[in-house]
Amino acid sequence: MRIISICPSNTELLAYLGLLDHLVAIDDFSDWPESIQHLPRLGPDLSINMDQLESFQPDLVLASLSVPGMEKNIAELEKRQIPHIVLNPQSLTDIAEDLITVGNACGVQAQALQVQQSFLAIIAEMKNRASTVETFPSLYWEWWPKPVFTPGGINWLTEISELAGGRNEFREVKLASVQTDWEDVLRRNPDYILLAWVGVQIEKVKTEVVLKRPGWQDLKAVKNGRIAIMEEELYCRPSPRLLEGALKLGKMLHPEIYTDLSFER
């Protein structure tokens, strides 16, 4: 079977399903695991070279509406009558269901069910441990610095925060992504500031940008040294790797509860 993935989260999902040997091409931003680096690249996920994609004669293309702007690629796939699946995960439950959807489409139903069960078992274990937490710190996640965007309640990062024994500061806003401003965050005065700028490599995320904002030096997160740069690939992509990020966050917030728990791929 010849498979093409046109966004990183789908490439990672294929890795968990053991289907990387069937990949014939990927988008420019797919960077995990290391074993895919030799594959032909089709361009950025929002500007896929469809002529090149079609030349590979794929049996299946995986697209995802979790990437804003992917609609253009999907319309072109439909126009060219190229077999494809469109995923749109917004939650951990959605990701679990996507494992089965892709597994069924690729003929690895049993493997998909096993991976899904392992995925759900880790979630259950983390929920159990989170239930023992006495104090849930408030977490301000920053997806983009200017204008400021942060995940709302309809987002996997709200779930990830809770699995790790924390609370997304913007969980009451019933949106996937919330545009806010510096003054709003200042008023909320979160316990932690977590920077995960979408599409930006970790070495290019600068805390100095945040610390220059008016009044932010007075935030308790800053005063307590609780401002952290988080790996975009572990928190901003809706793939099973989110649980790796959740566990890392849990060990940051409550090391006494999560230290002995490991994440196995």
pLDDT digits (tens, 9 = 90+) for 7-59: 999 999 999 999 999 999 999 999 999 999 999 999 998 899 999 999 999 99
Greatest CA separation for the chain: 57
The pLDDT score that the predictor gives to residue 259 is 87
The total of other beta-carbon atoms located within 10 Å of residue 15's CB is: 21
Confidence bin at 66 (pLDDT 50/70/90) = confident
Contact 56, 23 (CB under 8 A): no
Q: pLDDT band at 265, cuts 50/70/90?
A: low
User: What is the model's pLDDT at position 83?
Assistant: 98
Nearest Cα neighbor of 187 from 145, 215, 148 is 215
Q: What's the CA gap between 112 and 133, in Å, rounded?
A: 32
Per-residue pLDDT tens for 212-228?
A: 999 999 999 999 999 99
Alpha helices, DSSP H, located in 143-259: 156-163, 182-188, 207-211, 220-223, 232-235, 242-253, 255-258
Compute the half-sphere exposure of residue 262: CA atoms within 13 Å on the CB side of its CA.
2
Q: Which residues pair with 62 in a beta bridge?
A: 5, 85
Place of tokens 């439909």: 78
